[in-house]
Structure formats: structure tokens, C-alpha cells
Structure 1
Amino acid sequence: MAIPTYRKPPRKVPQRGPSLVTLTLLITAPAVFAVAVLRPRSR
């Protein structure tokens, strides 16, 4: 019985889009800012 030859797994191509952290910040930052600005002010 022949032993199969070792083959390197194919390298994953890096994503071309923005990273997950950048995408999360781009979505959440305006929402947090809007909440802070539109919050009713108490006297």
C-alpha cells in the first residue's frame, strides 16, 4: 500500500474588503454619536 504524498493546503486569499473591526466601527460609531446628541437633556 503506497503512502500518499504530503501536499501543502492551498493558501487562503486574504479578503479585499475592510476588516471586521473597521466595519463594526463604521456601523456603530455614528449610532453612538447620534444617541449622545439626541439624548434629552435634563435640567
Structure 2
Amino acid sequence: MALPAYRKTVRKQPRRHASPVLLMLLITAPAVLAAAVLRPRSR
């Protein structure tokens, strides 16, 4: 059944979610950098 010409089809806009990989990188990258900076240096 075709829609009447006067009615536009309503399409929901997709939400912009971060991909799981990007989310994991955003969480782990600061932790890795902080661990590298705060690591005790042996001489």
C-alpha cells in the first residue's frame, strides 16, 4: 500500500554513539599515559 502524496515518511535520525573500540581507547589511553608518567624510574 503506497503512502498518500501529501504525507512525508518520517525517518528517525540515528543517534551518534561512539563505537565500542573508540570508547575503549578513550578510557584506556589516559590510563596508559598516566602509568607511563608515574612509573618509578630506576637508576
How many residues of Structure 1 are paired with residues of Structure 2 in the alignment?
30
TM-score computed with the length of structure 2 as normaliser = 0.63
Structure 1 residues not aligned, in runs of 5+: 1-13
1:35 is matched with which residue?
35
- Runs (4 or more) in structure 1 with deviation over 3 Å come to none
* CA RMSD, Structure 1 to Structure 2 (Å): 1.3
Percent identity, please: 73
2:22 corresponds to: 22
AA in 1 matched with 2:33: F
In the alignment, the residues of structure 2 paired with residue 18 and residue 39 of structure 1 have an alpha-carbon distance, to the nearest angstrom, of 31
Q: Structure 1 length normalisation: TM-score?
A: 0.63
